[in-house]
Amino acid sequence: MKSYYITTPIYYPSSNLHIGHTYCTVMADAMARFKRLAGFDVMFLTGTDEHGQKIQRLAEAAGVTPQAYVDGIVANIIKLWGTMEISYDDFIRTTEPRHQLRVQEIFKRIYEAGDIYKGTYEGWYCTPCESYWTDKQLVDGNCPDCGRPVERMQEEAYFFRLSEYADKLLALYEDDPGFLEPESRRNEMTAFIKSGLEDLNISRSSFDWGIPVPLEEGQVIYVWLDALSNYITALGYPVIEGGVPGDTPDAGLAKYEKYWPADVHLVGKEIVRFHSVIWPALLMSAGIPLPKQVRGHGWLLLDGGKISKSKGNVVDPVLLIERYGVDALKYFLLREYTFGQDGLYTNETMINRINGDLANDLGNLLSRTCGMTEKYFGGHVTKPAQGEEKLDACLAELAVQVAAKVETHMETFGFNHALAEIWTLVSASNKYIDETQPWALAKDEARRARLEAVLYTLLESLRIISVLICPFMHHSTEEMRRQIGVSGEADWADASVWGKESVYDTSKGASLFPRLDVAAELAYLESLGE
């Protein structure tokens, strides 16, 4: 069985997550489900990035320990992914011993490779904020966070010889352009590297909420070295002599050998640099194979700005799910935005997507088909014996071609294009109802066989749609299959087979997506922001 390893960034548990964070995780989830359906042995990793000065400060302000602070938020994040039915296989927290011990080991390996040296870090220090800033980051010569004066300070720190890796990184992009997608990000990073790479300060001594540097007390490992390593520590790499508390005793390197190198690290555009410059350089130094791909997505914007915790313009995914359901939210995020580009979030686009594509197009197709099957045949339809008519053959031909088109779009994370392809079949099926006019056929007893063939054609199309939408909206898959009367789990291979079922026994249920009153919903969503 071929393996497939996909990761999301590990999120900072500084405050609860918003819809922007769910965007990346929903894409990773859809891809993981798609690959599983296509027969891959999938490892889907997510988690939380819990160390660093920011978290330490937030905890101090809240009057709790950093661990207690993150524990509360991580519990909410796990609950959110549960509500959204994110199908991750492992959730790694950087405060877990299985991660911490391995990060120290990775640090030692890079040190032993001669790529870590002790030096002096110099910068502009803001004492109240306990932060270093570079010349460029200062605002009018003052701290960009609090606006107070800064002073020139220096301290001892460990550095990673990142500058030594510039040529190797450029060669990597050149030899394997697929390593960093989309191309626009690759060009950006190429220019960034060409403008000169400086060695990287990889330890801090001004705060202590981090993984201790193994060589010396009083220093903690830079949070990005700590965080990036999660992609391999979660696989049990490197092996820790004597084992790790809480780890399965015989876990060994089985997972690492099965899943590493990762097929893709899915990340937001602002952290592409960490993943495509720092991470491969660290891996090269430690002698570990590189991930196959880093793929950078755009941001969801709200009123022109990035949705962000610090700006406070947050859209709460939990409230949206409570009102519209998990499938509707996932569909909207995957259908509305183009991978790699920024997209504007508005309540209106979301309501219109749910109403138009889901309630009107898909929901109606299911309820009309099941309704007519029940009305005209008591819910029981058999496969027609005689040959198909032209309209049926056209729909069948279109239906069996969709899966291959979806596969092509999924190769480039083109979720919106994949869903648009599936909706060509939904629309064609609705059009087929208008063209065949089953209600007219029902009036003529002599056309009963034709009527049955029409309904069978529609049910076959719905069965194929139920498989095609499964990676994106698995609840709807299950409900559609229950209503049309198909047993067993969806199997991707069945999406390309026409005429698979010999009978259908339908049982009409509640509408898949109830139609929304746009004005009322907009007023409701507006009221949430007040």
Question: Which residues are at the interface with ligand MSP (CB under 6 A)?
Answer: 9-12, 20-21, 23-24, 49, 227-228, 230, 267-268, 270-271, 299-300, 306-308
The string of DSSP codes covering 96-110 is: SHHHHHHHHHHHHHH
Q: Are 255 and 43 a contacting pair, CB within 8 Å?
A: yes
The separation between CA 519 and the C-alpha centre of its own chain, rounded to angstroms, equals: 31
Q: How far is the CB of 98 from ligand MSP (least distance, A)?
A: 16
Q: What's the length of the chain?
A: 530
Separation between Cα atoms, residue 193 and residue 208, nearest integer Å: 31
- Give the residue with the Cβ less far from ligand MSP, 49 or 452: 49
Separation between Cα atoms, residue 398 and residue 432, nearest integer Å: 12
Strand partners, 505: 380
Q: How far is the CB of 427 from ligand MSP (least distance, A)?
A: 30
Q: How far is the CB of 139 from ligand MSP (least distance, A)?
A: 21
Q: How do strand 3-7 and strand 264-268 relate by DSSP bridges?
A: parallel
Q: How far is the CB of 342 from ligand MSP (least distance, A)?
A: 8
Q: How far is the CB of 22 from ligand MSP (least distance, A)?
A: 9
- Give the residue with the Cβ less far from ligand MSP, 33 or 265: 265
Residue 522, class by beta-carbon neighbours within 10 Å (0-12 exposed, 13-18 middle, 19+ buried)?
Answer: middle
Q: How far is the CB of 301 from ligand MSP (least distance, A)?
A: 7
- The first and second tokens of residue 104, run together, are 């120290």
Q: How far is the CB of 92 from ligand MSP (least distance, A)?
A: 10
- The first and second tokens of residue 467, run together, are 């498989």
Q: How far is the CB of 295 from ligand MSP (least distance, A)?
A: 11
**CB nearest ligand MSP: which residue?**
268
- Non-local (6+) Cβ contacts of 288 within 8 A are 232, 237, 260
- Give the residue with the Cβ less far from ligand MSP, 95 or 436: 95
Q: Is the peptide bond before 9 cis (omega within 30 degrees of 0)?
A: no
Q: Are 501 and 404 a contacting pair, CB within 8 Å?
A: no
Separation between Cα atoms, residue 171 and residue 451, nearest integer Å: 63
Dihedral sign of CA atoms 512, 518, 519, 522 in order: positive
